[in-house]
Structure 1
Amino acid sequence: MTPASPLPIGAILFDWAGTTIDHGSRAPVEVFVEVFRRADVPITTAEARGPMGMAKREHIAAILAVPRVAEAWQSRFGQAATEADIDRLYADFLPLQKEVLARHSDVIPGIPEVVAECRRRGIRIGSSTGYTRALMEVVAPIARAQGFDPEVILCADDTPKGRPAPWMIFRAAEALDVFPMSRVVIVDDTVPGIEAGRNAGTWTVAITRTGNALGLSLDEVAQLDPADLSSRLRAAEATFGKAGAHAVIESVADLLPVLDTFAKGDPIRS
């Protein structure tokens, strides 16, 4: 569904890791891999990235539901993972993630300039994240010092359910006093984030090159063969298209022309 009517865009809600900070969304992946290694059930980077965008406890549960991981857990412990196991892994995850975040909270190039132009246009800036409030206490000051300081930050533990449920989006829109939801744009680098925007009735913009879909640092992207990079970006675009993104761009730095299109009521994709 395309948001109705060509009303002026009133707010943009940005995701954090992979969208506005942490090029390649590496911090959470690093920690998920380490937590499962410590549990003696190693997982791959791809398995760690699969549920990205969800609240972190739900993310752990989703990894444990992956058939290969579920089989490995059963083999190691003689039974399927329980809710208590999920709680234990999550308890291990939180302090380790807090340690890692300080190394992975750099603002992605182009973000401050785009946000400044959006504010000049009268668009309010909010955000949502799969991180908890305690984790954002580490991230937000680092980002603020580098020029990204949204008015509102909604965290995974602020609402009963994280993405793809729309509750963080609704809470952020309420805090910014922007409605109807057709005046809100969601910018995210994960499928659950795009699905949350669709569930909320907002415009949705998916990010490929800087985010979880590619999963590479700025330096790693620069070293990638151009043909390989192009192929990976096309695959990511196709994935987000299936998820219902109204537009797919490589970076938030490319956002302004998309906003101009949305302001006319025209989706880039239906």
Structure 2
Amino acid sequence: MSNLYSATPSASTKSPVQAIVFDWAGTIVDFGSFAPTSIFVEAFRQGYDFDITLAEAREPMGIGKWDHIKAVGHLPAVAQRWEKQFGRTMTDSDIDQIYATFMPLQKAKVADHAEPILNAIDVVNGLKQQGIKIGSCSGYPREVMDVLIPAAKDYGYEPDYIVATDDLSQGGRPAPFMALKNMIELNVTCVGACVKVDDAAPGIEEGHNAGMWTVGLLLSGNEAGLTLEEYQAADEATLNAARERAREKLGKASPHYLIDTINDLPSVICDIEKRLGAGERP
């Protein structure tokens, strides 16, 4: 699919959309969201010699990483195997140990997954040229973001503001606080003129809770779970099956729009602009 921003719009074209808040892995960088999921599998293995599947690691994606580990441990199949292996349920101390194992592994690997997704830089730069501010937030903690941010910058991605999941004390997704912190720092005057873009349900719910338009990504992120190579080689039947897997999960969060990747975002923004012009709000 061609990028709608390949022809650079006039810098004088001012959009009624004030800001867009992007997630990171599976949305802007790391096609398939493999950096966090593969490291969760490894952290469980190294921390406790306990195996989880990649699908189990993906299940609660979008929330903070400590809470993510806890949520994986509470999955019925995982909890059953844990109790069989250790003779007890998972405790907060277990989660602390897995998290402590996870952090250095994630920091060591996250820069390897910093490559932007499918015209992401062109799309973001086109949005900026329309006067739209670019915010971002992530389920990654700050110490991981401090590795990812400069790696992504080397590829040309530089949002106007960034919030990590542990930057705020009020709690992560699906609560709206990371998105709203972006609004404050970007000097946004109307959250109803802003958009949240994410590949996971908690991030879409975050956008709803913040009062924004929401866009879910079907094929580039966690729910489809395709590598870039698998995506590029897939026939339409394979892509449709992946879309339906993702649609079933993301649809529960009721996004205003569902698209394949960020490459399809410009047409969505055009539609939101029309709806804002007609007086609609999220």
TM-score under structure 1 normalisation? 0.93
Question: Which residue in the other structure is 1:43 paired with?
Answer: 52
Q: Deviations over 1:61-102 (max 9, x none)?
A: 000000111111111221111111111111111000111112
For 1:179 and 1:234, how far apart are their aligned partners in 2?
A: 36
Of 232, 235, 254, the match for 1:222: 232
- Correspondences of 1:1-270 after superposition (within 5 Å): 8-38=16-46, 39-160=48-169, 161-265=171-275
For 1:215 and 1:82, how far apart are their aligned partners in 2?
A: 29
Segment drifting more, 222-231 vs 92-101: 222-231
For 1:141 and 1:217, how far apart are their aligned partners in 2?
A: 23
- 1:258 positional shift: 0.5
SS of equivalent to 2:134? strand
For 2:144 and 2:60, how far apart are their aligned partners in 1?
A: 19
SS of equivalent to 1:187? strand
- 1:175 positional shift: 0.5
Q: Deviations over 1:146-176 (max 9, x none)?
A: 1110011100101231111111011111000
Structure 2, unaligned stretches of length 5 or more?
A: 1-14
For 2:261 and 2:161, how far apart are their aligned partners in 1?
A: 21
Segment drifting more, 214-223 vs 9-18: 214-223
What letter is aligned with 1:57?
W
- 1:224 positional shift: 2.6
For 1:54 and 1:106, how far apart are their aligned partners in 2?
A: 22
- 1:206 positional shift: 0.4
- 1:24 positional shift: 0.5
Alignment: residue pair count: 262
What letter is aligned with 2:147?
V
SS of equivalent to 1:9? coil
Segment drifting more, 194-203 vs 36-45: 36-45
- 1:228 positional shift: 1.6
Contact 1:112-1:147 at 8 Å conserved across structures: yes
Identity of aligned residues (%): 44
- 1:105 positional shift: 1.1
Segment drifting more, 227-236 vs 204-213: 227-236
Question: Which residue in the other structure is 2:4 paired with?
Answer: none
For 1:74 and 1:35, how far apart are their aligned partners in 2?
A: 18
- 1:179 positional shift: 2.6
For 1:86 and 1:241, how far apart are their aligned partners in 2?
A: 30
For 2:230 and 2:253, how far apart are their aligned partners in 1?
A: 27
Structure 1, unaligned stretches of length 5 or more?
A: 1-6
What letter is aligned with 1:23?
F
Q: Deviations over 1:37-56 (max 9, x none)?
A: 22122111110000111000
SS of equivalent to 2:20? strand
What letter is aligned with 1:120?
Q
For 1:127 and 1:236, how far apart are their aligned partners in 2?
A: 22
For 1:11 and 1:207, how far apart are their aligned partners in 2?
A: 18
For 1:104 and 1:188, how far apart are their aligned partners in 2?
A: 17
